[in-house]
Structures are given as C-alpha cells and as structure tokens.
Amino acid sequence: MITINGESGGGQILRTALGLSAITQKPFKITNIRKNRPQPGLKEQHLQGLIAIKNLTDAEVDAKIGSTSLTFKPNKIRSGDLKVKVSTAGSLGLILQVLLIPALKTDLKINIDGGSTFSKWAPPVYHYKNVLLPLINYPVKINLLKHGFYPKGGAKLEVISSKTELKPIHLKKGKPIEVQGISIASSTLKPKRVAERQANHAKKILAKWFKEVKIKTGYIDSLNPGSGIQLTLKTTNSLFGGDSLGEIGKKSEKVAEEACESLISSYSSGSVDKFTADMLLPYIALVGGSFIAPEITNHIKTNIETIEKFLDVKFKVDGNKIYLNK
C-alpha cells in the first residue's frame, strides 16, 4: 500500500492522491493531514471531495471532519450521475480539483449543492472554466447555476464530462493577445456599484500592460452578500488566471488590485499562474508535457512526490521549468 506523510503539503496532497488512486485503483494511507495548519485535519471541502470520490469508486474509507489520517481503498470508477452536498461555504474549486482527474476515465454528470464559487485561499470556479480546462483541452462543461459566498455558501454547480484522452501539454509564456474577465457581486451590492468598480479599476491597471482588456460585470442572487473578480490572460501559447474575493471592509478597488497583481506577477515569471502550476502536475504526469512555474513552491514539491508514488514517472525541475524526466 502507498503511504503518504501529509505533514507539509496541506489539502493538495490529499486531492492529488484521491484523484490518482481512483484512476490507478491503488490504495493509500495518508497521515498527518494538514498537520501544520491552524486547524489540522480534514475540513468540510476536503471531506466532501473524499466522499465524492468514495461514491464514484465504491471505495472503502472511514473519515470525518478533523481526521488527520485515513486509508483509501478504491474500486473501479463508475459512470452516471454523482451528487455532492456541501453544507458549509467550502470551496467548490477544491472539490472540482479532486473530481476532474478521475472524470477523464468515465462519462459523468456531477451536481454540487452548496459551497462557495469564490474563496479566499483557492481558485474560483471561473478559473477552471476559463483557464485550466481550455488550457489542457479538457472538454468539460461547467454550468454555474447559483453563486455562493462565505459564510453561508449555497452555490449550485452542474459538471458534465465524457471519457477523454488528453494530448501532451507543453506551455510557453507567449505574447499577450487579450485579457477577459468577469466581475460579479450580489444584487444587494448593486447600489454601491461594486461589480463596476472592481471591473473599471482592473481595466485601469491592466491597460498599462495589455492592449485588449474586456471585463464583463454582473449581479447575482446569493444567500449573503459577496463579490469577486476573475481575470484570464490569453497569450499565443498559454492562459493565465488572476482573481480576488471581496470581503467586509475591503474596497472594490483593492479587490481589483489583488487580482491584477496576481495575473501580472504570474505572467512576468512563468508560463502559467500559481494555481494552474499546482493543478497541471497530475495531467502532465499522465500524458506528458512541460511548463514554467512562477516559483517552485512547497506545494509543487510535495505534489510531485505524491504523483510519483502512484505513477511510474519522474519529474525534472530545472530552475522553474518542470517536465517529465524520460
């Protein structure tokens, strides 16, 4: 059985292990889950991702919120409908991250009820729709039926995927073509023009860097007020994402600045953004490829170590360039 020490990698190690365990049907045991975090062990979004993979593979596993170790024994991946219930404002992006890897191998319709579409420490749902999936040519349809924000969540998401064979993923920085974005806010924030202020300030910042900038605005119904902005830079060879979440006491202009800074920083130093760099690794392990990370983080290092336990591959890290060592 594969054994994993989750002490230094956060929830990313568990998400990668679950996805690859489902594909390879290799069981694993993980200990010290999120040991160095303020609240160690599984949180709601980790547990719901685990339960979803359990239901997808008819796996044997016993875990609960706060668990710091678990053993996961999968069976074959099934097809059909999969329902995921999130009772908190947990990140839907992190649940998607778990499910998209095994979804390569089957035909699935996933309905997720609850959770948040934008989160403070995780990529929003729009990052998957606009950056990751088109970047690797993964034909998954994501229908965002309802937005959710912290603290109540309440989002609704439909994901439709078919069995897919990806091609090798080689990504270079490329020359900028355009930036597209989406700036949203709850309808209760419309009098303060939050969506427009986020968008307009982002356009002002990005105009100094890129010629074409188009950002849509919208107001949505949600269980509690919230806002967010997601930006996508399209280049001749890649896609980059940047985003930020609105919070109480944070000005709309600050939200825009954070998203722009993230986007510009990634483009200045890599061929993908920081979130995509982490998420690309399992797919490159499966089909081959290469990219330049904005920086080689501990997340990337532990993710590589986890992947190499499940697949007969070895990664090479040369400066900030990452590729398979054949």
pLDDT digits (tens, 9 = 90+) for 20-48: 999 999 999 999 988 878 888 898 878 88
Same domain, 64 and 205: no
Percent of the chain at pLDDT exceeding 90: 88
Q: Same structural domain for residues 21 and 65?
A: yes
Task: State whether 156 and 255 are in the same domain.
Answer: no
Q: Report the pLDDT averaged over residues 104-113.
A: 96
Q: How far is the C-alpha of 292 from the C-alpha of 201, rounded, in Å?
A: 29
pLDDT of residue 319 exceeding 70: yes
Same domain, 220 and 128: no
15 & 50 share domain: yes
The domain total for the chain is 2
163 and 308 housed in the same domain: yes
Same domain, 247 and 104: no
Taking alpha carbons only, the member of 83, 84, 57, 91 closest to residue 72 is 57
Domain boundary among 242, 269, 296: 269
Choosing from 46, 147, 201, 299, which is the catalytic residue?
299
CA nearest 186: which of 116, 139, 136, 237?
116
Domain that holds residue 127: 2-170+273-324
Supply the pLDDT for residue 36. Answer: 79
Do 161 and 184 lie in one domain? The reply is no
Residue with tokens 């290469």: 290
What residues have CB less than 8 Å from 261, skipping those under 6 apart? 242
The tens digit of pLDDT for each residue in 61-100 reads 989 888 999 999 999 999 999 999 998 898 999 999 999 9
Give catalytic status of residue 299 as yes or no. Answer: yes
What CATH number does the domain containing 198 carry? Answer: 3.30.360.20
Q: Same domain for 204 and 306?
A: no
In a shared domain, residues 195 and 309: no
Same domain for 257 and 130:
no
CATH number of 77's domain: 3.65.10.20
Strand partners, 143: 158
Residue 326 — pLDDT band, cuts 50, 70, 90?
low
- Domain co-membership, 198 together with 127: no
Rounded alpha-carbon distances, angstroms, from residue 162 to 77, 100, 106, 138: 13, 11, 6, 10
What is the spatial order of strands in the sheet that 169-170 belongs to? 169-170, 289-292, 321-324, 315-318
258 in Cβ contact with 203 (< 8 Å): no
